[in-house]
Structure formats: structure tokens, C-alpha cells
Amino acid sequence: MIPQFTARDYSSFSLAGALCATLTHGAMTPIDVVKTRIQVDPEMGRMTLLSGGRRIVAQEGAAALLTGFGPTAVGYFVQGGGKFAGYEFWKKQFAELAGGQENAVKHRTAIYLGASSAGEFFADILLTPLEATRIRLVSQRGYAIGLMTGFTRMAREEGLAGFYAGFLPILCKQIPYAIGQFTVNEFCHELAFRTMSEETKRSLSRPTKYAVSLGSGIVAGFAAAILSQPADTLLSQINKGHGPKGSMPYRLRILAQEAGVRGLFSGLGPRMMMTDGLVSGQFLMYGAIKDALGAPPGLEIHKEERRSERGA
């Protein structure tokens, strides 16, 4: 049966998502700084995460690794709240549109894809201005001293158009990221729980549940990084002002042609490490915070293996 969530339930989903996103993204700021520099600085294009970090510290000091921490923490607080609560909301809506629990299980892949995409789309409307500020702070040394000064300078010099110049590429990045994060996580959980009876699942210890969440999050993190890497590279280029004049699709096409496959996946190694930590950490925290808030579990539409099928 499809659960009926209350406004309080969605508030709990949102708060849990906001906290897990801002804590994980904030903790990953140093890695993200190095990754962004590798993407936009030709001199660092062939560097590893470790060598790139050493170069930044040697030239600019250790504090440079925390560049953009403010917009990262604030941006992913609002984005995480919208994304996780949005995913729970849209998954329920699409399950009801499918005609109930049984049909939702049959069409679960489409529901996962649609719910993750819709939740991410609306969350990115909130995230984009802060992400643009973050990338400008990281990629242009001396641009501003922090979130407020950087945000104010962009608003003054470029206005709304500057903040949302990267909206299309951020959608191209974040929606595949969300698809990898949520859809792969769902199927990993389904694989882990498929042969368990309802009684066994209900009696699982908390450490076992967290172990499943961690393992599922690690696999989902790899998928999210690979699916979103090309658009992540293009987003960094757009926010630094690279590329020809013209419409955003035209600029993205030209930048992609100039970068080539190798250039689009530049920095994938560091980003996979970062994304793996982000996604697995987020799912662990999300579950723990929901439990602490007394929030109900999300809608489950996993396909269960019947006992007769296992015994055949």
C-alpha cells in the first residue's frame, strides 16, 4: 500500500536531506577545489588529486583549499532539502499515477528516473546561483573573499543572467547525478533485500541496515560521478566565462568539441573519490537523521523474489 505522508513527514525528509547534503559537501570542499582547478587550469590538467592539492597549498597556502566553502554549505543545504524531499514526493505521485503499488513495482525504473529528475530540477533552481558563485570563487583567484562578497559582486556585475548562465549545464550535470544516486541506490537495496522475508527485513539490526546503505551508496556514487562528469567539466568552463558567444546549447556544443572525450572526463578520478564519499555519506546520514526525527520510511516499490521462484 502506498503510504500517505503528512506535511510534517516531508519537513523531516527535507531537513534530513538538507543536513546530510550540506555536511558532506562542506567536508568535501578541499577535494572539490582541487577537482575544479584540474578542470579549468591547463597547467593542472594532467595532475592527480594529491599533486594538485600540493601545488595549491605551496602556491596559495592551505586556506585556499577551503575556497568556496560558504556557497557550498548554503547552496547544498537548500538543494539537499529540495532534492531528497522532492524525490520522496515525486516517487509517491508517480506511483499513484501508475495505479497503485503493484503497477508501481512493474514500472519502478521509470518512477525512479522521473522522481529523481523532477526532484533535482526544482532543487537546482535554488542551487544554481550559489553554485555559480562557488565556481567563480574557486576558478578566479582574488574574485572575492567569501560568499556574501562574491554573491554581491556577481549580482552587481552580471545580474540574474550571470547567476543562471550555468542553469542548463547544471541540469545536465545534476539530473544524471541524481539518476545515478537514487536509481542505482534503489536497485542495490532491492538486490540486497530481494531474498529476505518481510519478517527478516523488519528484524534487521541497525548496523546491518547501515552496512547495506553504505554499500549501496558506494556503488551509486560511482554511477553518479561517471554519468555527470562531462557536464560538470562544461559547467566549470561556462562559469569561468570560457566558450564562444551565443546560445547556451551552442556554447556547450563548441566547448564539448574543443575538449573532446578525454577533456570532458578530465578530473574524473578525483571526482569519483569525492562523489563516492558524498553519496554514501549522504545516504547514511539521511537514514540516521530521519530515524532521529521519527520520520517514516520512504515508499518502497522493490520487486521481491517469490519463495517458489527461489525454490525452483
225-234, 288-297, 298-307: the lowest-pLDDT one: 298-307
Q: Would 119 be classed as within a structural domain?
A: yes
> Of the segments 3-17, 191-205, 240-254, 264-278, which one has the largest average pLDDT value?
3-17
Tens digits of residue pLDDT in 114-132: 999 999 999 999 989 988 8
For the ranges 26-35, 149-158, 178-187, the lowest mean pLDDT is seen at 26-35
Mean pLDDT within 153-182: 90
Domain count, the chain: 1
Domain-located, residue 131: yes
Q: Is residue 62 part of a domain?
A: yes
Q: What is the CATH number of the domain that holds 174?
A: 1.50.40.10
Predicted confidence (pLDDT) per residue in 228-249, tens digit = 999 888 877 776 667 778 888 8
Average predicted confidence (pLDDT) for the chain: 87
If pLDDT is split at 50, 70 and 90, which confidence band does 307 have? Answer: very low
Could you tell me which of 208, 216, 188, 218 has the C-alpha nearest to residue 278? 218
Q: Are 41 and 60 in contact (CB under 8 A)?
A: no
Q: Which residues constitute the domain of residue 290?
A: 7-294
- Please report whether residue 299 resides in a domain: no
Q: What is the pTM of this model?
A: 0.81
Residue 311 belongs to a domain: no
Q: Shortest CA distance to 277 belongs to which of 192, 170, 181, 139?
A: 181
27-31 long-range contacts (CB < 8 A, ≥24 apart) are 27/277, 27/281, 28/274, 28/277, 28/278, 29/65, 29/66, 29/67, 29/68, 29/69, 29/72, 30/65, 30/66, 31/270, 31/273, 31/274
Mean pLDDT of 187-203: 83
| 58 domain-assigned | yes
pLDDT tier at 293 (50, 70, 90 boundaries)? very high
pLDDT band, very low/low/confident/very high, at 222 (cuts 50, 70, 90): very high
Whether 104 is in a domain gets the answer: yes
Most confident segment among 3-17, 44-58, 200-214: 3-17
More confident residue, 68 or 285: 285
Within 8 A by CB and 6+ apart from 268, the residues are: 225, 226, 229
Q: Is the pLDDT of residue 310 over 60?
A: no
Cβ-Cβ contacts under 8 Å for 102 (sequence gap 6 or more): none
Residue 13 lies in a domain: yes
pLDDT digits (tens, 9 = 90+) for 249-292: 888 888 888 888 888 887 788 788 888 889 999 999 999 999 99
